[in-house]
A = this chain, B = another copy of it.
Amino acid sequence: MKIGVFTVLYDDKPLEEVAAYASGLGYEMVELAAWKGSNHIDIDEVLKGNTKDLKETLNKYNLEISALSNHLEGQLVLGPLDESTDDWAPSKDPEEKVKYGMKRMKDTARAAAELGVPVVVGFTGSPVWGQWYIFPPKNEEMYEKGWELFAERWNEILDTFKEVGVKFALEVHPTEIAYNIETSEKALEVLAHRKEFGFNFDPSHFIWQMIDPVIFIKKFGDRIYHAHAKDSELQEDEVSRSGVIPTGGWMRPNRGFRFRIPGWGQVNWRRVMTALLTVRYDYVLSYEHEDPVMSREDGCEKTIEYLRPLIIKKPLEEVWW
């Protein structure tokens, strides 16, 4: 297992500076944001073959790319197609957004292939997120129809993934088509379990849903293609008033629920590490910073310090007692 970092947290700094810093702290992999405007990679350039500088920079610091990530443009494929996604699209027109989103996700796969990166992490969008609550009753029916659209659009995208030999790892996440264990099962089912599609495991989204991350790992062991090291916290002193689905900005200090860096929330990381080993997941834990309390520097330092002693290097192969 390697420890990596999703470099988007330092998108305001040049990749070389980030690479030097992360590598110096002991990180071994980077996850790069692939959407338009990313400061660390421009996939259009990659598709033109311009990869030398990027490769040299990372080689210099002994860093590998764990994944290209595209959470933003992936959302355009299934929406929401209202103003909430306007900033990432060349047009406000829903059809244009979808078309653009699909193209960009295919391009991300192609860029990954070009760079020899085996995984693209991202979001799928969802036309029906707000409808998980079964009122009005019509929601249930509409929710079911959302799956058809998902299969239709993503099968097309995944065909490109298949061609170029790259896997897509959906980050199971509220607002996306799959956000819990049941919807993850459904997603696999409607895609007929095609191997190009799997998950980016991120336990921080399960805590407030009271889902046990270990059950997710055991159930989808061979479909976990990437993992995020992120934690989350139900604030004991706030949750009985604010609840698990607070509104307002991440920086509001009295939210019932918020993200944290690993070890500062309620994920039991020893159980998680044990389960990942049990299913023989042995790729990357990519640290993502969305902790509204600590600076990025605190996060980068504390995360690797916390996780490194929890890595189990080798499974037990047989019992001798």
Contacts and interface: CB of A to CB of B under 8 A. Distances in A.
A131 interface: yes
Interface string A223-247: 0000000000011110111111111
A143 B319 contact: no
A138 interface: yes
A162 B294 CA distance: 35
Nearest to A179: B245
Contacts of A278: 253, 293
A294 B315 contact: yes
B309 A136 contact: no
A11 interface: yes
Contact of A245 (B133, B242, B256, B314): B133
A57 interface: no
Given A86-B138, A293-B278, A243 B316 contact: no
B212 A83 contact: no
Given A139-B84, A290-B321, A246 B297 contact: no
Interface in A129-174: 129-140, 142-143, 173-174
Interface residues of A, number: 95
B256 A210 contact: yes
A8 B321 contact: yes
B241 A182 contact: yes
A247 B292 contact: no
A175 B135 contact: yes
B237 A131 contact: no
Interface stretch (A19-27, A94-102, A106-114, A269-277): A269-277
Contacts of A174: 133, 135
B182 A247 contact: yes
Contact of A295 (B179, B294, B314): B314
Contact of A72 (B136, B218, B302, B316): B136
A129 B129 CA distance: 10
A136 B84 contact: yes
Given A130-B175, A293-B316, A298-B314, 10 more contacts: A129-B130, A130-B130, A135-B321, A137-B319, A182-B243, A209-B243, A209-B245, A211-B242, A218-B237, A292-B319
14 contacts: A75-B136, A83-B142, A140-B247, A143-B248, A180-B243, A180-B246, A183-B247, A210-B243, A211-B243, A215-B240, A218-B254, A237-B240, A264-B270, A295-B315
Interface of A: 8-9, 11-12, 72, 75, 80, 82-88, 129-140, 142-143, 173-175, 179-183, 206, 208-212, 214-215, 218, 234-237, 239-251, 253-254, 256, 263-264, 270-271, 274, 277-278, 289-298, 302, 305, 309, 312-321
